[in-house]
A and B are shown apart, each in its own frame.
Chain A
Amino acid sequence: MMRRTAAAAVALLWSFGANVQELKAQELKAEVIHWWTSGGESAALKVIATEFTKAGGVWIDNAVAGGVNARAAAINRTIGGDPPTAMQFNTGKQFDELVEAGLLTDVEALATEGKWRSLIPEAIAKATTRDGKMYAVPINIHGQNWLFYNKAVLEKAGAAEPTNWTDVFVTLDKVKAAGLIPLAFSGTKTWERNLFNAVLAGKGGPEMFEGIYGKRDAALAASLEFKDVAETYAKLRGYVDVGSPGRNWNDATSLVIQGKAGMQVMGDWAKGEFVAAGQTAGKEYGCTVLSDKGGGYVMGGDVFAFPKLKDPARTKAQVLLAKIMLEPETQIAFAQKKGSIPVRLDLDTSSLDLCAQKAMKWLADKNQQIPAQELLSPPDLTGAVEDAISQYWNTPSMSADAFSAKVASILKASN
């Protein structure tokens, strides 16, 4: 009897709670499709969800594992006439066609009102703007070409902390001589491309990077400077271990953490692995961006886009969500959890780690930055270049000339 009463009470309470939720839901319900499923990622997203709930919204989480799958789900639903309230993309060209097809609603009014363009870096603002209107809210910036190194390993090998793509080879040689893996590497297409892009940015410089991926200048791909980049990249083959093909990026990071490898070129999301292992930037591990010509911090990141909706209540939820994403508190708390840096330049970032501090300095200076490949090229061009890079990396007999000819022909075909 007691038990039955208790159950009835619980049921009553539960239905009451459900009613309240339904009431609220009628006001500001937001279903958000995203791919942030790992520990640090979901903790970061929770920051937005919590702020949104505090502001009176109801957050409906729709996490789809894997960026490709999440985007496919969101795009299919948008075309099918049942769009989510908000959907995640990487900063760049992934949502171009949705804008062209008139499926996205712009956030220009909010951007003007909040003076967003004066707050965020120009490259990011440009990457979210189509035909003069802002179509997505940037949430964070990820540096893609960091070099993370194990300080103890370098010290033991008697090697200096590298700063550019020339002296890094001295360091790599010393680590190799010490009998350790010089460069921790994850030999899959994505990371083979990422490593190449790091060399292209650091050795070739910002102009070369934007000339290849932005202007798609085939002549540039045939230049001596590009061949120099290709040769530097090829030289790195001699510093990875035999187990690298097919390895996950986080397994490569853990080689650096454990002191089995000297360093890794990776985006700043790798910091999550160091943090999880209880290591601190500047203490156990160091971070830098290798640059021969000065500048060259490759910036990517994530944005949220908002499909056009018929229900005015849900449109209101979109406005609230967009506003909250760029609030200073959200931005800082999000960046701390995610390992990224905020998109706003006017924040007090003293609570972020050493690497993020460095990044914020570059963020303030336009000459230090390079927009990431996905900000400049559409996905199928990125994919074609990726195939070429992967082939080059894995075929030691392929010459730098053959590689640059291949890249040039891909760029020519895309124009």
Chain B
Amino acid sequence: MTTPDVLVVGGGVVGLATARELHLAGCTVAVVEAEFAGAGSTGAAMGHVVVMDDTPAQVAFCRDSRARWIAWFEGGGMPSAAEHDPCGTLWLAATDREWAAAGHKVRTLQQAGIRAELLDAAALAEAEPALKRGLVGAMRVPDDLVCYPPAIARALAEELIGLGVRWIDRRVVGLEPGAARLNDGTRLGAGSIVLAAGAQTTALAPGLPLVPRRGHLVITDRTPVRVHHQLIELGYLDSAHSMGGASIAFNVQPRRTGQLLVGSSRELVGFDPAINHELVGRMLSRAVDFVPGLTQVPASRTWVGFRPATPDALPLIGPWPALPGTWIATGHEGLGITMAPTTAALIRAGITGSRPPIDPTPYLPDRIMPAQDHAA
């Protein structure tokens, strides 16, 4: 058994995009995945590729990564099961304060070279007749897109195996310099090891500033109630956001299947898979408030996922000084799908010594971060 140049731990979209990038850069690559491609956070994700603008580092990252997704889809490299839908995002303003924030966001995005525009109340009502009346307006980001992450993970895994990347159907139980120990007792050497195991990465890299942040999603049956963009409220800007308690926001996504996907919630409860009914009830009631027609739509299924969250809301990408030869690619919280392609490019640049697509320093895993507030 030859020693690969790089061993990627984790077969989610982040790990698979990274493995692909490294393979295309000429490295020999192996992927270790304990379940199957897309079994973890990828399988629970919403599939919204979106530019977020909370910080300049976040805008830069999302802009680069979204462009890579668009190129990927437009290049025809994805199966139809990936359910690519270039529907764009509408950020809804319910108050004058949110409307002012929307104006500010439009300027921020435009300055970063990202298309964004304001829709007033009338234009919004025309664009999304299913929304309640009385909203002040919205920001439209037309180039955001929606996709189906598990199918993308599958397509990537099959592509990689076809390219000769080794797929190892095992769990990594420990790391040592230059090698990973697997649950079958074997030891697997590698030039570099990339940890892309989502929220579970801390099991292999203790001390990583990362916690699982649980989210709920509800999908409806196929319904004639239609929305034409990913719809998100700007309301979260108005609330005091903390790492602490449970929170919700209105977030509805049209699926290519004719279903609607309804979010979102955040809680710090470890890896508890139990449904928090009260929180789901609030989340859905908020969705009904924004899209009144949702109230009669049959609800099909609820699930939870665990986002890998960091204290400063930026991902952890780069070498892990605690264990030389080990690289980290996680911490994307709710933006793992959006940020996967650029994460892959940053890891490739780091490992092969090539030029990074964006300045990597804001995302280094050993950067200085605000004190963690993970007690809740």
A and B associate in one complex: no
